[in-house]
C-alpha cells in the first residue's frame, strides 16, 4: 500500500495572488484530496454597515476587493437603489455599464498574466501586463482611479465622460485589439501553454451545474450561464451571446476568458454608440426601508447582494455571495486526481479572489 502524505500549499506561494492554504493529500505525485483553509485576510466588512451609513458604505463596498472593487460598488449601489426605489438617469446607467466592461477586460488580462507566470512563461506575462496598462490608462482617464474607481454613487455616478472621450475609448480599444489578439493566440495555440492546460482540471457539465459553479468556470463546460442576460443596467440595450467552451478543462476556461475580452470590447463599442445625453445623478431622499437581492456578473461570475434597511441611515444587514465562494467546491473536485505540478494552474483557472470570499 502506497504511503499517503500531506503537502501544505500556501498561504505564501509564488503563484497565489492572495492568501489561501491547501492541505494536499497525495499518493506519490497524485493528489487524492485537497482541504482548503481560509481566513487569513478576513476584515469584517459586512459588519461595518452598523458603523458607516448607507451612503458612506459605498466606499467600503468598493474595497471588498482590489481587482473587482468597481463591480462591488456598482452592485451595492444598484441593490440599495432598488430598496429606495430610485430611478437612475439613463446616461449614468450606460456609463456604469461601460466601466463594468472595462473592468472585465482589465481583470481578464490580469488573469492571463498570472496564468502565464504560473506556467513559467515570463515573457508572455510581461507582454500581457504591458497591454493591461493601456486599459488601466483608459480607466484612470475616465473614472479617476486605476484600481479603485471611486466613480459610482447611490443615484448615479460622480463623473461624466464627454462624447469625444467616449469615442476615444473605442478608438483606443480598437487599436489594442490586434495586439491583444497576438498575445491571446499564444495562450490558445502555443504548444507549451496548451500542454499545461488541455485535459487538466476537467469538470463535467453536470457536476459544474449541480455544484452551482458560476462565470467562466461553468461556461467552459458548455452551459451559457451569464447574469448579464437578465438585462440589468444597460445590458438590455446591447446584443451579445455568452462566451462558452465545451471541454471543461483549464484550456476551456482560458478560451472563455479570451473570448470575453473581445466581447467586452464590442460591448463597449455598442454602449458608447447608444449612450444618451442627460444628467448623471439624482438626489437621494429618505433612508432604506425593506430588503432586496441584487445580481450582477463580475469577471469571475455571478455575485449576489443582499441589503436590508430598517428606516435608519445604517443598514441592518448587508451580505455578499461572491463567485470564488461558489467555485471552491468545484475546484476541490478538479484537484482530486491531478498531478502536484498541475495544482497551481488548476487553482488559478478559477481566478481566485480570496479577499472577496472572506471580506
3-state helix/strand/coil string of the chain: CCCEEEEEECCCCCCCCCCCEEEEEEECCEEEEEEEECCCCCCCCHHHHHCCCCCCHHHHHHCCCCCCHHHHHHHHHHHHHHHHCCCCCHHHHHHHHHHHHHHHHHHHHHHHHHHHHHCCCHHHHHHHHHHHHHHHHHHHHHHCCCCCCCCEECCEECCCCCHHHHHHHHHHHHHHHHHHHHHHHHHHHCHHHHHHHCCCCCCCHHHHHHCCCCCHHHHCCCCCCCHHHHCCCCHHHCCCCCCCCCCCCHHHHHHHHHHHHHHHHHHHHHHHHHCCCCCCECCCCCCCEEEEEEEEEECCEEEEEEEEEECCCCEEEEEEECHHHHHHHHHHHHHCCCEHHHHHHHHHCCCCCHHHHHC
Average pLDDT over residues 139-159: 87
Q: Which three cell numbers stand for residue 241?
A: 451571446
Rounded mean pLDDT, 281-303: 89
| CA distance linking residue 291 with residue 319, whole number of Å | 11
Q: Phi-psi category of 19—alpha, beta or left, where left has phi over 0 and alpha has psi -120 to 50?
A: beta
In terms of residue numbers, what domain contains 205? Answer: 4-358
Average pLDDT over residues 43-71: 86
How many domains does the chain divide into?
1
**C-alpha separations of 281 from 17, 79, 149, 153, 169 in Å:** 36, 16, 17, 8, 22
Q: Which of 70-74, 100-104, 143-147, 316-320 has the lowest mean pLDDT?
A: 143-147
Distance CA 112, CA 71 (A): 20
- CA within 13 Å, CB half, 289: 5
Residues 6+ away with beta carbon under 8 Å from 221 = 203, 204, 205, 208, 209, 213, 245, 246, 248, 252
The mean per-residue pLDDT over the stretch 165-182 comes to: 92
What's the pLDDT band for 17 if we cut at 50, 70, 90? confident
What local confidence, expressed as pLDDT, does residue 272 receive?
A: 92
Whether 1 has a pLDDT exceeding 60, the answer reads no
Give me the mean pLDDT over the 135-153 stretch: 87
pLDDT band at 2 (very low <50, low <70, confident <90, very high): low
Cβ proximity of 311 and 322 under 8 Å: no
Where residue 267 sits, what CATH number does that domain have? 1.10.645.10
CA–CA separation, 352 and 299 (whole Å): 11
The answer to whether residues 274 and 268 touch, using CB atoms and an 8 Å cutoff, is no
Share above pLDDT 70 across residues of the chain, in percent, rounded to a whole number: 99
95 φ, ψ (degrees, to nearest 5): -65, -40
What is residue 133's predicted lDDT score, i.e. its pLDDT?
A: 92
Q: How far apart are CA 231 and CA 238, in angstroms?
A: 9
Amino acid at each position: 500500500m502506497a504511503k499517503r502524505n500531506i503537502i501544505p500549499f500556501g498561504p505564501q506561494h509564488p503563484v497565489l495572488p492572495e492568501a489561501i492554504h491547501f492541505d494536499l493529500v497525495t499518493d506519490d505525485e497524485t493528489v487524492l484530496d485537497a482541504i482548503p483553509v481560509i481566513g487569513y485576510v478576513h476584515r469584517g466588512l459586512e459588519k461595518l454597515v452598523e458603523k458607516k451609513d448607507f451612503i458612506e458604505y459605498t466606499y467600503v463596498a468598493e474595497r471588498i476587493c482590489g481587482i473587482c472593487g468597481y463591480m462591488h460598488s456598482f452592485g451595492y449601489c444598484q441593490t440599495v437603489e432598488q430598496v429606495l426605489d430610485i430611478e437612475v438617469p439613463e446616461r449614468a446607467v450606460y456609463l456604469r455599464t461601460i466601466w463594468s466592461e472595462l473592468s472585465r477586460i482589465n481583470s481578464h488580462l490580469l488573469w492571463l498574466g498570472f496564468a502565464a507566470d504560473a506556467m513559467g512563461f515570463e515573457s508572455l506575462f510581461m507582454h500581457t501586463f504591458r497591454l493591461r496598462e493601456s486599459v488601466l490608462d483608459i480607466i484612470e482617464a475616465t473614472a479617476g482611479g486605476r484600481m479603485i474607481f471611486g466613480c459610482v454613487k447611490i443615484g448615479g455616478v460622480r463623473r461624466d465622460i464627454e462624447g469625444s472621450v467616449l469615442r476615444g475609448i473605442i478608438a483606443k480599444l480598437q487599436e489594442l485589439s490586434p495586439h491583444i489578439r497576438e498575445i491571446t493566440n499564444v495562450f490558445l495555440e502555443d504548444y507549451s501553454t496548451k500542454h499545461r492546460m488541455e485535459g487538466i482540471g476537467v469538470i463535467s457539465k453536470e457536476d459544474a451545474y449541480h455544484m452551482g459553479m458560476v462565470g467562466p468556470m461553468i461556461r467552459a463546460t458548455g452551459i451559457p450561464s451569464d447574469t448579464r442576460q437578465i438585462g440589468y443596467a444597460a445590458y438590455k440595450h446591447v446584443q451579445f451571446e455568452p462566451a462558452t467552451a465545451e471541454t471543461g478543462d483549464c484550456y476551456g476556461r482560458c478560451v472563455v476568458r479570451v473570448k470575453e475580452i473581445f466581447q467586452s470590447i464590442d460591448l463597449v463599442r455598442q454602449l458608447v454608440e447608444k449612450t444618451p445625453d442627460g444628467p448623471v445623478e439624482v438626489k437621494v431622499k429618505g433612508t432604506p426601508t425593506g430588503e432586496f437581492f441584487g445580481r450582477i456578473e463580475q469577471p469571475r461570475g455571478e455575485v449576489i447582494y443582499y441589503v436590508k434597511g430598517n428606516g435608519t441611515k445604517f443598514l441592518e444587514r448587508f451580505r455578499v455571495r461572491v463567485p470564488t465562494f461558489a467555485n471552491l467546491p468545484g475546484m476541490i473536485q478538479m484537484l482530486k486526481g491531478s498531478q502536484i505540478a498541475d495544482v497551481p494552474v488548476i487553482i488559478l483557472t478559477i481566478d481566485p479572489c480570496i479577499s472577496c470570499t472572506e471580506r
